Structure formats: structure tokens, C-alpha cells
Structure 1
Amino acid sequence: MTEGTRAQGPGAPRAGTALLTVLLIAMGVGPLLNYGLSATSDLLIRELGVSAGQFGLLVTVLFVSAAVSSMVIGRLADVLSIRAQLIFNYGGTVLALLVSAIGPAYWTLVVACVIVGPAQVIANPTTNRVIYSAVPAARRSGWIGVKQSGVQASQLVAGLLFPAAALWAGWSGAAAAAAVGVLALLWWSLRHIPPEDPTDWRAVRRVLADRFRRRGVSTASLPLQVWLFAAVAFFSGMGTQATNVYLPLFAVRDHGYSLLVGGLAAGLSGVVGVASRIYWGRALGAGRRPGTLLLLISTGALVGMACMAASAVWTQPALFWAGVVLHGLTVLGTNVVVNAGTMQAVDATRIGAASGTTTMGMYAGFAVGPVGMGAVVELTGGFVLGWILVGAAYAVLFGLALVMVRTGRRPAG
């Protein structure tokens, strides 16, 4: 069966606006907790009486939970129905938000972060699988760009709403309100996915049994490109989350902005990130090679970190806002390139396993970045060295892009 036939088969979802909106929302609900924590970081640090390093550990716990579960979640995404995956994604997010609303206390936030990790990680394999089965090959990159922008739309919503809600009703009120909103989105999303076959629970049990016995689809069978994309996801993820988590705190502490303006900075980065992800997706759809786009992304990301570090040294607000915009324009688009490239590298039977592998790399980077930045801030009392180290991660990303460009030019065989 050809890709075009598969995309248009009688059991495939309809590739329309409603389905694309469902995919965008599915990508956005999972990160609401971590973006909400980041946007209200200064308030929570003072309320909980914790250090910046301890606060960064919260997000690290979240992403460790996601990374550990990503491989088995990727395999489950190949056998669970889309309806079941959406309930897992949205439902896990609701549970995590409600647990975080208890107190708030540091331990409840830790438990919430553990819960939301697997719920967040399933979004990528789920949405990739839908696009692979429902969308003609020529349109997939564009769809990936739009659905990945859901993550930055979540960053925008959290950056604008969580600080205001937390100042009015405290963190507990903000988290509870977000949980109600996610439940409403789940109701809408389930009404806009087409009929499908129910989940084959025997296949689910086989996947879980094989995973516990260290069997199943071997990752050794995945092509080199998938492992390169996993490395790209790791180093870009380190810098992305170190910046996302500490950007509002940096705005408040080093530049003297209010909590609302700190959240606005994160929101602005998210707005730019939405547009950039759509742009990078369209560039891929127009035939640009992933390695070439990653060279552009990593170069811009390096300039952005230079602006961040310089703004801290010379207290220049213009450089700070330039760094915010460059962060959104460049590295926030990396995941579009990774997902589209991964989809091109494997066939339909391995899309979940391949997505799980690259997702594991991404979440491992997400876990390392915030705790590393938090430790640096604790040790040095500032952010300059942290931004320099993020720039070093982007330099490695530049090197990986060069490798991808060179391997892409080699003749077959």
C-alpha cells in the first residue's frame, strides 16, 4: 500500500481543520503545568521558601518522568486508539494540575510533575501517527509545523494567564481553573475525531509484556537519521527548557520587571514560536533539507544566547527582548524539523518507536537543562554563566547539523 493510499484509506481520520485543531490542542495541554510553574516562578519560590535550584528540580523531575516513560509510550501509541490516547494525555494533565493545587506545597508539585510526564510525552507519538495515517505526504510537514505550534500556544496562554490568576487566586486557584479548561478541551476534542476501531487490548498487553521482558521492536533497527535526530532533540531540549523555565525569573531578578511582565516575556517567546514552527514546517514542505534548516536554527540560537548573556552583563533591556524573540524564532522550531525528519526516515510500522526514541532524547535534554541552569544560578548568584552554557549546547547542535548535512550528501550505498 502506498503512502497516498494509506492516507486516504476508509479507516483513516479526515484531514480537515477540526482534526488539525485537535492535534494542536493535544500538543498544548501537556506543557500547561510546566509553563504555568515557570511563569509564576518568582511568586512560587517566595511562597514555598525554596531556592532557584530547588525550583528547577521540579521541572527536571517532570522531564525525567517523561524520558523514562517515552519508549514504552511510543510503542503504545502504535496500538492504542486515538480516543484512548487523548484521554490519557488530557486526563493525566488534569490530574496533575489538581494534585498541584493541593496546598500548594513543594511535595505536591513534585508528585504533579511525576504524573504529568507520561501524559505529556504521549502527545508527540499520537499526533505523528494521526498525521502519518491521515495526511498526504506532501502536506505532512506543514501539518507538523502547525500541530507543534500548540506547545508554544500553551506557553503563550500560560505566560499571560497564570501570573494574573495566581496573583488573584493563588497558585491553587490558577491550577484548578486550568484543569477545568483542559476538561472542556477534552470534551471538544473527543467530539471532533472521526469514528475508529476500538483499542485492541491484547496488543497493548503484548507491548507491555515485551517491554518488561526487554523485548519488542529493537531500537537497533532504527536508521542512523533517527539517532541523529534524538541527539539534536537532546541538546536543543537542554537549552530550550533552561531558557523557558528561567526566562521569567531572569526578567524579574536581573531586569527588575514585574511578575506580569516576566510572564509576558515567556508569552512573547511563545507567540514568536508559533509563527516560527509554522514557518519551519513550510520550509520542510518546500523541500529544504533538515540539516540545512538546523544550521540556520542553531546559528540564530547562538546569537540569541549571546544577547541574553550581554543583557545580564550590561543590564540592557533591548538585548534581553532581542534574546527572547530569537529564542522563539530559532530553537523553538527544532522539534518541527526533528518530527518531520523522523517521519521521513521510517515506515508506518515504526513511527511510534522512532518518535518515542527522539522524544526520549528531547525529554532527557529537558530534564538536564533546568536543573543545570538552577545549579549555575545557585553557585554564581546570576545568569551569565548559565546563558553561556546554553550557548555551548547550541554549538553542539550546530555541529550535529553539519554532520546531518554531510551524511545527507553521501550517495546511497
Structure 2
Amino acid sequence: MTSPKIPAASASTGLLIILLCAMGAGPLFNYGVSVSSALIIEQLGITAGQIGFIVTVVFAAAAVSSIWLGNLADKISVRRQMVLIFLGTALALAVAAFAESYWLLLVAAVLAGPAQSISNPTTNRVIMRAVPLEKRTGWIGVKQSGVQASQLFSGLFFPAVALALGWTGAALGGALVCILLWLVSLKYVPSSAQLARRHEAAPEPEPAEVTVDTGKISTVESKESLPTVVYFFAAIAMLSGMGMQATNVYLPLFAVQELDFSLVLGGAAAAASGIIGVVSRIAWSRRMQAGAEPSRLLMLISGGALLGVLAFLGAALWQQPALVWTGAALHGITVFGANVVINAGLLRVVPAHKIGAASGLNSMGMYTGFALGPLIMGLLQDMTHSFMAGWLFVGLSYLLCGAVTIALYRRTLRKENRS
């Protein structure tokens, strides 16, 4: 059945761009710290492991707050949620800008976490309420690519500004960007009344009456429970997130310390992943929009991410800078797509009134992985004074992710055989 047309103001290009920016605003703090890590280490006299712990605190705060904020996203206006995202990140960056001690950076990290954890519930809710059904998966791909757009921006912006104005100037510049984006969002984000009118014009089917298809996984869900596949997605998000965020945080420092890249060139390696990640996330979303089965795509993602880890190991073993770029490209092509597949899958199985809660559960898994990945890799680097053990850990996280994905795929086959 074709969805009723929605006024252009509800699902405009401007709104799509704001959703992309909302996904990219929160990670500005993490990426800024990561690509400026060599400078911050020298300025504060801290270790690589302590840099990883900063990002761990960000994502621990995000994981702890994700369930509550996910439920909150179903209750408060989207415009209020944009305040939490954009101005929350701006506050974290402003605090970090004047951090003269490691502990103040950790305070900034705590502030940055909630701004990131609410971004998925907020943007998913807007898409379900303001975007026609046939366009939602495409919008998911574009808005999820905001994280990689943020990585691209950070890789180019923070090292260049930090070299000219120091970390303080770079962090304040990032805060100013967030404030400007929030002001622009006021024009494009629908009010609660506008979203309510859209929902009345094109209401979602009652979940108890509709059979929902996730690839070949068909279930009829009650109003109260979340589909079992949501918990599979949360586990996959955690395991893929461990490897993805460990790589995001330590790729620039790895390139600088192990292969003698400059600070700017190390940031460019992270930016390269971001450029490719933007394109790949849109490509993965198109596969989902074409009806691809999530578990099959996630198996491809896990296998490709393992190849990227092998490239980084080869770069360290044979001192081949070209393999750093190869690994960065594979990183962008593969694991960045996991969240697109998962979030598009959530929209298939979760009713509109529960999307915030389901997104919050998924975010808890993802941010738990994001917290553990940099922490473990940083500890391994501090203990061994090498990135080799860290890359092996990243490879193990992708192997486990692949194992859970295979379990989901087998569950899919069993349901198909019974139907």
C-alpha cells in the first residue's frame, strides 16, 4: 500500500541534512580528541592508554544514559532533543578547550556521552514520523553517514586548526560549529504539532495487526514486547562497535607513531575512512532498501572488516604506509555500514511508538562496544608498547561479531523453513 503524500516541509532536503548533522555533531568530541591525540599527549603528558580512556568515558556515559534517553525521545519534542545533541556537544567541547588537566578532559567526556546516545533515537523517530515509508531506508543511510561526515570534517579541521591555534582554538571552533548547526535546525526540524498532524494524516499500522518482515524474518509483535531480533542487533552493534571505535580512536596515533606519519597526515588517514564511509553507508542502505536480508549483509561486513585488520597488521610488520590507506579504506567500506543495516532493520520490526526504546537498547549495545574497544586497545598498547596486540583484539571482535551474525542468519533460515 502506498503511503499518503507528506508536505514538503515535513520531509525536506533541509531536514535530511539536519538529521545528518545531528548524527555527526556528537562524535565531534571523540574525533577531535583522536586526530589531535599526539598533540594532547605532548601537551598534558599523558599516555596513549589515557587517550583511549577519554573515549571510553564518553561511550560509557552514552551507554548508561541510552535506555533512559531512548524512552525520553518518545516523549519530548524533537526540537528539545536537538538542544541536547548540538548544545550538549558544544558544552563538552568548550570544557575540553580549557582543560589544563586530564581530569577536566574526563569531565568533558561525561558531558559528550548523552549528546551522542540520544542522536539515534531522535533521528529514527523523526524519520518514522515525517518521512514516507518508501523513503525511510534511504534516509537512514544518509543520516547514518553523518557520523563519517563528522570523521571527515574532524580529520581535516582539528589537526589544521590545532597546529595554528592549539587544542583550545580547535575545540572552541568545533563548539561554534555545533551552535551554528543548532540555530539552523530551528528552521527545518518539525514541531510536535507538525509531527502529530503528519501521523494523523498517515498513521502507522497497529503492530498487533501487521506482520513485519526483516529480510526473511517474519514476526507478529505485540504492543509491549520488542522483537527478539532487536537483541541480536544490539549484540552485533556492541561487537562491531568495539572494533570500529578502537580503530577510529587509534588509527591516527598508529600512523604517527608506527609509520612516522605527520599529525596532519594521520588525520587524513582517518578522514579517508570518513569519506569512504559516507559513500558506503548510503550504498549499504540501498541494499537494504532493495530488500536485502540484514544478516547476510552483516556477514559480508564482518568478513570485510577482518581484511582491514590484516592490512593494519601488515603495515606494522612490514612498515608499508600503503597498507595503512588500504586498511582505512576497508574500514570505511565495511564496518561503518553495520549501523545502517541495523537501524534500517529496526525500522522494519519495531512499531513507531516503540522506536525510541528499541533504538535506546541498540544504542546501549553499540556504546558499550564503543566504550570497551578504545579502553582495551589502549591498555594493550600501554602494556606492550606496540599496536600489534591491539589489532589482534580488533580482529577478535569482528570474528565474534561474525559468529553472532551467523546465529541470526540460522534463525532466519529456521523461520523460513517453518513458514
TM-score (norm 2): 0.90
- Report the Cα offset of residue 243 of structure 1: 0.3
Q: Do the aligned partners of 1:62 and 1:114 also contact (CA within 8 Å) in 2? A: yes
Tell me what 2:202 maps to. none
Q: Which of residues 375, 396, 399 in structure 1 aligns to 2:400?
A: 396
- Report the Cα offset of residue 219 of structure 1: 12
Give CA deviations for 1:310-350 in whole Å, capped at 9, x if unaligned.
11111111211110100000001111011111111111121
Tell me what 1:177 maps to. 173
Q: Do the aligned partners of 2:85 and 2:119 also contact (CA within 8 Å) in 1? A: yes
- After the TM superposition, which residues 204-215 of structure 1 pair with which residues of structure 2 at under 5 Å, given as runs? none
Q: Do the aligned partners of 2:129 and 2:195 also contact (CA within 8 Å) in 1? A: no
Tell me what 1:68 maps to. 64
Cα distance in 2, alignment partners of residues 321 and 9 from structure 1: 43
- After the TM superposition, which residues 10-409 of structure 1 pair with which residues of structure 2 at under 5 Å, given as runs? 14-197=10-193, 221-409=225-413
3-state DSSP class of the match of 1:247? helix
Cα distance in 2, alignment partners of residues 376 and 246 from structure 1: 12
Cα distance in 1, alignment partners of residues 55 and 372 from structure 2: 9
- Report the Cα offset of residue 80 of structure 1: 1.0
Over aligned residue pairs, what C-alpha RMSD do you find? 2.0
State percent identity of aligned pairs.
Answer: 52
Give CA deviations for 1:132-164 in whole Å, capped at 9, x if unaligned.
112222221111000000000000000101001
Q: Do the aligned partners of 1:294 and 1:334 also contact (CA within 8 Å) in 2? A: yes
- Report the Cα offset of residue 191 of structure 1: 1.1
3-state DSSP class of the match of 2:75? coil
Give CA deviations for 1:267-296 in whole Å, capped at 9, x if unaligned.
000000000000000110011111111011
- Report the Cα offset of residue 385 of structure 1: 1.3
Give CA deviations for 1:227-283 in whole Å, capped at 9, x if unaligned.
000000000100011000000000000000100000000000000000000000011
Residue 13 and residue 199 in structure 1: after superposition, are their counterparts in 2 closer, same or farther (change >3 A)?
closer
3-state DSSP class of the match of 1:15? coil
Cα distance in 2, alignment partners of residues 105 and 141 from structure 1: 44
Cα distance in 2, alignment partners of residues 289 and 13 from structure 1: 32
Cα distance in 2, alignment partners of residues 352 and 219 from structure 1: 14
The amino acid that maps onto 2:339 is: N
3-state DSSP class of the match of 1:194? coil
In structure 1, list runs of 5 or more residues that go unmatched.
201-217
Q: Do the aligned partners of 2:10 and 2:190 also contact (CA within 8 Å) in 1? A: yes
Q: Do the aligned partners of 1:84 and 1:199 also contact (CA within 8 Å) in 2? A: no
Cα distance in 2, alignment partners of residues 78 and 122 from structure 1: 11
Cα distance in 2, alignment partners of residues 196 and 277 from structure 1: 29
The amino acid that maps onto 1:106 is: Y
Q: Do the aligned partners of 1:13 and 1:134 also contact (CA within 8 Å) in 2? A: no
The amino acid that maps onto 1:288 is: A
Question: Number of aligned pairs?
Answer: 392
Give CA deviations for 1:358-400 in whole Å, capped at 9, x if unaligned.
0000000000000100011011111111111101110111112
3-state DSSP class of the match of 1:197? helix
Tell me what 1:208 maps to. none
3-state DSSP class of the match of 2:258? helix
Cα distance in 2, alignment partners of residues 286 and 104 from structure 1: 51
- Report the Cα offset of residue 197 of structure 1: 2.8
In structure 2, list runs of 5 or more residues that go unmatched.
197-221
Q: Do the aligned partners of 1:59 and 1:370 also contact (CA within 8 Å) in 2? A: yes
- Report the Cα offset of residue 221 of structure 1: 2.3
Tell me what 2:207 maps to. none
Cα distance in 1, alignment partners of residues 53 and 9 from structure 2: 40
- Report the Cα offset of residue 196 of structure 1: 3.1
Tell me what 2:199 maps to. none
Cα distance in 1, alignment partners of residues 123 and 13 from structure 2: 14
